[in-house]
């Protein structure tokens, strides 16, 4: 949405370059999906307005983010140049997922697939309405993280998005809706997050409330002390605050010992503090849990090269090449610059 909550580390605060994924998904599929991802116009209680995106997921039901429609006095969706007014809303404020109840919306729904079926490095693409563009924009990427929350997962993918795309869709290559565009971390190395389709499906058969409802903060907009661990590790990781990262990751491991991401961030903190033996042990644990964790392979390659096992480092390059060619090339370059 174009109206923003300020003062948050995690927000939709910058426009991103996007790439149309027609070649990867097929022109006919893209055309069909583009007609089912709609622009949302929100009239606010203060007399201003906001814009966002939404996806038709059932007859006369459009899902979007709750932060797109928070404090709304009226909500409309645009389809084929016409505006259709929402008559009710079904909010899941905690997960930032809101379902709009429509009347006589002449748009067929998309197919949906549980976010829990996604795998690391799986190709995905987004469709949304960033900024004031007249037509939907698509970006492409791959899944890089699946973070357990409640009864489902938060998805992190490399497909970028920017202001206005909130509430748009994340799709697999078959055209199934697998995530809801929601938030990003700040900076040029942003992490992009998508809410679970399981929470979308849970709202479809719920009763709708009036449009003018009291809004609540989603989990990601609360104070940093209340963030889930997958959000709390981002800043120290990207800023190489290894001691800070180690502290947060250790807490995460203690609370979720079966979470491969918790062990990965602990291992990277150990690598950053030159505790290479322990880092290697924990990275192998990550790979045992998730054989497609390309970032863990990357750090294992660095450790092998640092400790003089050049052949093992090259093996990690080859393993990476099958999953993430860019990361494999990055590892090769890093190996040449290690002391």
Length of the chain: 339
Q: Which of 13-17, 161-165, 173-177 has the highest mean pLDDT?
A: 173-177
Q: Residues 228-256: what's their mean pLDDT? A: 97
- Report pLDDT for 110: 98
User: Which domain does 324 fall in, by range?
Assistant: 225-337
**pLDDT of 6 strictly over 80:** no
- Cα dist. 90→60, 93, 110, 271 in Å? 13, 9, 19, 45
Q: How confident is the model at residue 25 (pLDDT cuts 50, 70, 90)?
A: low
Identify the bridge partners of residue 141 per DSSP, sorted by sequence position.
124
- Report pLDDT for 22: 38
Q: Is residue 84 part of a domain?
A: yes
Overall number of domains in the chain? 2
> CB-side exposure of 164: number of CA atoms within 13 Å?
18
Tens-digit pLDDT profile for residues 257-306: 999 999 999 999 999 999 999 999 999 999 999 999 999 999 999 999 99
Tens-digit pLDDT profile for residues 173-202: 999 999 999 999 987 789 999 999 999 999
DSSP one-letter code for 257: T
What mean pLDDT is reported for the chain?
Answer: 91
Last residue of a domain, one of 179, 207, 235: 207
Q: Is residue 219 part of a domain?
A: no
**pLDDT of 125 strictly over 80:** yes
Is the CB of residue 136 less than 8 Å from the CB of residue 170? no
Q: Is residue 14 part of a domain?
A: no
- Report pLDDT for 19: 34
In terms of DSSP H, where are the helices of 151-215? Answer: 197-203
Classify 159 as helix, strand or coil. Answer: coil
Angle, helix 310-323 to helix 325-337, in steps of 10 degrees: 160
Q: Residues 314-318: what's their mean pLDDT? A: 96
- Report pLDDT for 23: 43
How many percent of the chain have pLDDT more than 70? 92
**pLDDT of 113 strictly over 60:** yes
177 and 242 inside one domain: no
63 and 173 inside one domain: yes
Q: Is residue 185 part of a domain?
A: yes
Q: How far is it, in rounded angstroms, from Cα 211 to Cα 325? A: 47
Q: How far is it, in rounded angstroms, from Cα 219 to Cα 152? A: 14
Any idea what the CATH number is for the domain that residue 199 is in?
A: 2.40.10.120
Place of tokens 């961030």: 265
């Amino acid at each position: 949405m174009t109206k923003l909550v300020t003062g948050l580390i995690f927000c939709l605060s910058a426009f991103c370059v996007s790439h149309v994924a027609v070649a990867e998904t097929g022109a006919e599929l893209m055309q069909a999906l583009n007609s089912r991802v709609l622009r949302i116009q929100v009239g606010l209680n203060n007399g201003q307005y906001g814009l966002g995106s939404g996806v038709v997921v059932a007859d006369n039901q459009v899902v979007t983010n709750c932060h797109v429609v928070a404090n709304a006095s009226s909500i409309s969706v645009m389809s084929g140049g016409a505006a259709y007014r929402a008559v009710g809303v079904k909010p899941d404020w905690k997960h930032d997922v809101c379902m709009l109840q429509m009347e006589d919306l002449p748009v067929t729904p998309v197919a949906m697939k549980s976010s829990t079926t996604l795998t690391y490095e799986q190709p995905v693409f987004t469709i949304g309405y960033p900024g004031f563009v007249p037509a939907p924009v698509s970006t492409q990427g791959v899944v890089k993280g699946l973070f357990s929350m409640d009864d489902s997962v938060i998805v992190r993918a490399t497909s970028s998005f920017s202001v206005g795309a909130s509430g748009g869709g994340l799709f697999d290559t078959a055209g199934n809706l697998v995530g809801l565009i929601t938030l990003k971390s700040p900076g040029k190395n942003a992490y992009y997050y998508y809410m679970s389709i399981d929470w979308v499906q849970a709202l479809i058969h719920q009763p709708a409330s009036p449009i003018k409802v009291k809004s609540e903060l989603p989990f990601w907009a609360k104070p940093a002390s209340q963030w889930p661990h997958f959000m709390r590790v981002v800043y120290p990781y990207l800023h190489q605050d290894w001691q800070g990262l180690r502290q947060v990751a250790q807490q995460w491991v203690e609370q979720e010992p079966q979470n491969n991401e918790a062990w990965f961030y602990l291992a990277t903190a150990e690598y950053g503090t030159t505790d290479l033996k322990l880092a290697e042990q924990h990275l192998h644990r990550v790979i045992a849990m998730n054989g497609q964790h390309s970032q863990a392979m990357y750090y294992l390659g660095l450790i092998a090269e640092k400790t003089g096992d050049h052949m093992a480092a090259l093996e990690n390059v080859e393993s990476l090449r099958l999953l993430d060619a860019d990361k494999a090339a990055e590892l090769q370059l890093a190996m040449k610059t290690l002391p």
